[in-house]
Amino acid sequence: MDSRYEGLGPSAHLEVRRVCAVGAMGLAVAMGIGRFAFTPLLPLMQRENLLDSNDGAWLAAINYVGYLLGSLVAARLAGRPRRLVLSCLFATAIVTCAAGLTQSFLNLLLLRAAAGILSAWALVGISSWSVSELIRSGRAEASGWVFAGVGAGIAAAGTLVWAGGKAGSAALWVALGGLALTLVLAVQRLWPALAAMPAARASSTAPFRAPRGSAGLVFCYGSFGFGYILPATYLPSLARNVVDDPRLFGLAWPAFGLAAAASTLLAGLALRRFRLLDVWASCHLLMAAGCVLPLISRSGEAIAASALLVGGTFMVATMTGLQQARRICAQNPAPLMGRMTAAFALGQIAGPLVTLPLARLTIHRWSGIELTLIIAFALLCATAFWLYRTSAASGQPGR
């Protein structure tokens, strides 16, 4: 028997697998579809003259605001994670379908805001529950399988959009909603057995006191939100500028998702050898490189490399950041996770906002969005340095 399983009975084997399956499918729905399906659909909706660039910006911004609002209250709702998560996932499937059944821009704004709120609630609910369950089972490194669900959902949504582009964006929204509903039903079927399993759970009503160093972690997590949002949002559009063929530029987003899914699995292995904050810091450095690559070259190769660097680090940064929150707030991690998620939301809102005053500037042939990418590069490098220093000072092992 593998030494990792010594002392764990057959039910523990089953529990770990089910926790990973429930978490992965839940995040695939909440984040991969509910949160990010708009990204590969945006170029298609623009080609169909359903949206212009300003409309797309407003829809993205309202989703970010919804994500922020959801994260501000997520910790208060996380005391009953199964009820919270299932409600959010079913609602996500509904709002995704509804986006393909309306032609009203106001309705789309409301639906994208709702998707942002629901994804924040589901992320905090799934993360606080699944990481705690895996630690209790002695399999903390298996959280890579849980967070791989986001990348798998992104890849599935992107592939569906790429393969079904001729069907039109409306049909694709409905198809994505149907896929989400199928996954939610699977989550619902797997979770009842888990609910009966004994587990030591903290009281969500206990007063929360922010531990020492948590402010720095919150700032780093917010900086990560600022750094990733521009390449993550505009990557398909950047690819479209290189080649205006949806069969080609549409592959950028599935590649992004596959990189995200694979990276969390590899990170689970890396965390057996390296400290948690070292892995997080490395993600910031690699993401910083992904931010500046499109400035160095507008070739397809550079955009593909940017997709791999950003897609291959953003979920590892999410996973390690939330695991660190669980580590320093073992009894009640949801409040700190909520603060970090709120900081992330503020960071991704700040990205486009910083671009606006820089839009009329041109420095060394760099436009507003390019100047913002340079700021993101500097911020990610600075926070990586802080994380490395904090990791070295703590001396904590990776696991």
Domains with residue ranges and CATH for the chain: 3-394 (1.20.1250.20)
How far from 234 is each of 55, 223, 261, 303, 360, CA to CA, in Å? 14, 18, 20, 11, 19
Q: Which of 191-205, 252-266, 361-375 has the lowest mean pLDDT?
A: 191-205
Least confident of 28-32, 100-104, 185-189, 367-371: 367-371
- d(CA 311, CA 375) in angstroms, rounded, equals 19
Nearest C-alpha neighbor of 188 from the set 301, 299, 72, 29: 29
Considering 29-38, 77-86, 125-134, the range whose residues carry the highest mean pLDDT is 29-38
**What's the mean per-residue pLDDT of the chain?**
83
**pLDDT higher than threshold 90 for residue 389:** yes
Average pLDDT, integer, range 163-191 = 94
Distance spanning both ends of the chain, measured CA to CA? 21
**Angle 143-76-120 (CA atoms, 0-180°, nearest 5)?**
50
What's residue 123's pLDDT?
Answer: 92
The strand pairing partners of 281, in sequence order, are none
The confidence band for 348, taking pLDDT boundaries of 50, 70 and 90, is: confident
Residue indicated by tokens 């949504």: 157
- Lowest average pLDDT, out of 9-23, 32-46, 205-219, 233-247, goes to 233-247
Tokens linked to 248: 């080609």
